[in-house]
A and B are shown apart, each in its own frame.
Chain A
Amino acid sequence: MLAKHTDLNARSRPRSRRWFRGEGWTALFFLLPGLIGIFLFLVLPILASIALSFTNWQLLGTPRFVGFSNYTRLFTTDPQFWTVMRNTVFFTIEYLILNIALSLGLAVWISSLKIGQRWFRVVFFLPTFTPLIAVAIVWMLIFSSGGLLDSLMAQLSLPFSGVLNNRTLAMQAVIITSLWAGIGYNTVLFNAALDMVPATYLEAARIDGATAWDRFWKIRLPLISPTLFFGTVMTAITSLQVFDQIYVMTKGGPGSSTATLGYAIYQRGFQNFQMGYASAIAWVMFALIMALTALQFWLQRKWVHYDA
């Protein structure tokens, strides 16, 4: 009853004063710089991107509304689109699985050490703090025709060379490069999570006769599963947007065997100036990110334990 009474009272006041009651004005002062920036460079672009994807704007002239035709063109007539889609999904799945497996393995290995844990962490983390372009450049030299890898393969008399010119192997080269650049963050993340597993749990299990293998699968892994889940989701989101490595190493080639959604957005938008069409691709990428994230949240019920 009392609540109803105050509510009525409040409604009789002028709207603006009610809104800024208490510390509203102070809060507005503190929030304003951020709000202006976020509106101009985040909210407005999101809205503009939706609107643009329904136009055929080519940067010059006025945009014309074309309904869903960008999207129908993408899914039905664009000969490249399904290749790009397949490349992106292929890259993400292979990269994600290898990244999580390798970084978890390294994290467990590092946490088994008595000394020097932090220096090993720094070593594997170094590429994370290196511009991805510089990373891509050095791996491009390793993979280039007549480069280090070819020379190594020749010495082992293995039958492949010119990886970056090979339709099936070029993507593998990009994945290796991305792994080198990217596993460091997850390694440190998982290592930190493993550090937080209470030693008493492991000690108790050891006394009960659990093997190291059992202690890993039954105690440590379940206890770090929330972190593992977090790392997996974040890695998936970033890998669906892969761009820098591809721009430097392959330019989407050979053919379009390494062209991904991120590269397609750049190509259509800033080389062909098809802003509308590129925006439609961006929304397909967003849908893919949301779908994969939703899938992971659905799967987490099966393997992530929050009851620690």
Chain B
Amino acid sequence: MLDAKIPNGELKSKWSTYQAESKLLNPANRKKVSIIVVGSGLAGAGAAATLGELGYNVDCFCYQDSARRAHSVAAQGGVNAAKNYQHDGDSVWRMFYDTLKGGDFRSREANVYRLAELSAPLIDHFTQQGVPFAREYGGVLTNRSFGGVQVQRTFYARGQTGQQLLLAAYSQLSKMVKQGNVKMHPRTEMLDLVIIDGKAKGVITRNLETGELKKFMANAVVLATGGYSRVFRLSTLAIGCNGSAIWAAHKKGAFFAAPSFTQIHPTALPQSSELQSKLTLMSESLRNDGRIWVPKKAGDSRKANEIPEEDRDYYLERKYPSFGNLAPRDISSRSAKEQIDSGHGVGVLKNAVYLDFKHAIERLGIEVIKDRYGNLFQMYEKITGINAYQEPMMISPAAHFSMGGLWVDYELMTTVPGLYAIGECNYSDHGANRLGANSLLQASIDGYFILPNTINNYLADEMKYDQPDISHDEFSKCLEEVEARIKMLLKIDGLKTVDHYHRELGKIMWQECAMSRNKAGLEKAISEIKELKSEFWKNVKVTGSNNELNPELEKALRLADFIELGELMCLDALQREESCGAHFREEYQSPEGEAVRNDDEYSYVSAWEYSSGEYQLHREELNFEYIKPTIRSYK
């Protein structure tokens, strides 16, 4: 049984109790400590900057050319905080409740409460750092509501909230780089984790410009590498987002939790061709004013504006009258899939539904809509060539956020001592489904507020031991293994490209392990992925060498990991015989097609241990002391 190290006492005081009781490291000793942070998004940059500020020596790595490019930059809609500025009944408790319920009771109460508790000071923190949040004319901050909740608790900076929060974190990181406390390593990828005496002690990296492999030692390693939904190939994630660092950690002993919980976002732009490399996300905030519909008649080939009201099916409003177009992401995505699968899809590939602003424009006027969503409408027109002020947008579900990730305890430490995972790459606060505008929040508080307060607890003891350095045999062994793997990939010289295999993997995953799953499909997927893996290692073709900037080699290394991760995702989905949140097992649904959760048997976090290609399941039982699990109904 896994111990999440949840502090004793009342829910409301768990975090303050933890902070009061955890060990500290005095400032003189912090100078002697080095910490590796892999990733420089909101979680990574926030952590690296704060740890630098505290006086630690930090090495921070990112694969992009600058920390400012991390994919947190792309989040559009906003960041949640329970400030109740709008007096619409919001509170820390309500946010905790919404998040726990939204995650279908598959997350930890203590973590979720802390998420809500730290949300309000986070807004103060970002405001102080110069985030130009949207304001009222009188100068106070304004809010909007976001998918899945009925209060206005989302703070935003136009449709570029992620960009502004990331730039604030990047600017704080830059300050610490200048001060010399953080050393930034851009265009550098972590390829392996070094474990000595059972503890995380360093990483092996590859300089993407020169191919040089290097050893880095530290007293603790923090992974902040974001989500792994590129396993589906087509996703809303940046092309470089990958799971390699967490996969390396998993293979070195870190348990992987709930790998199959992937959020499928309901408002992406539909795929338009086979060779497409990614799907673009449209902010979910569009659902505040846009109405979603499909033609009532399957296969209706009329243009959207030619279809009269009586022939339109506003299916979310019909099925979920109290939430309507704001129904949570899993429900909205699955409902869209039902419409598409039953022949009501629209667009060239019949894989989309309409998101219509006609009524909002009539009600509010075009200027209001332009002010609220102008940049999103521009983006839509750039990509599709369609003016959405005049005809409805077309949207489609797309693989988006990974709720799963490395298992972490209340301190955000993985099952490997000294190895932490923060932000999207961990499994913690979102359960089986993430509420809109909670991802920026979780990444930020993990990096800024939680990790810098929990890592001391480990380091205070760790300081008592002798520290190994990079001359330790384990470093050389890891480096040689990485080198051998790269050489092997370059030697295959087969007939198929990396992208070919990625497309194949993506098809299997999207078909069998995305919006809905079933036993037969998952079993088939597992066997197909195994075949794909063996075929990849026999027949992939990677040109160029290791000693240069080689984008094909980078892709090949990442894909090799994605293939293995894809198999574990299917295994996890197969094992969980219930429907919850993003995990919808077709065998477990009500006669009306709603998800049926099985709390008696599955109220636990699945945490998988890797051992020579086999996976063993461990369970962290979830105890709900404060909120009794209820059925999520949005009708």
**Are A and B co-members of a single complex?**
no
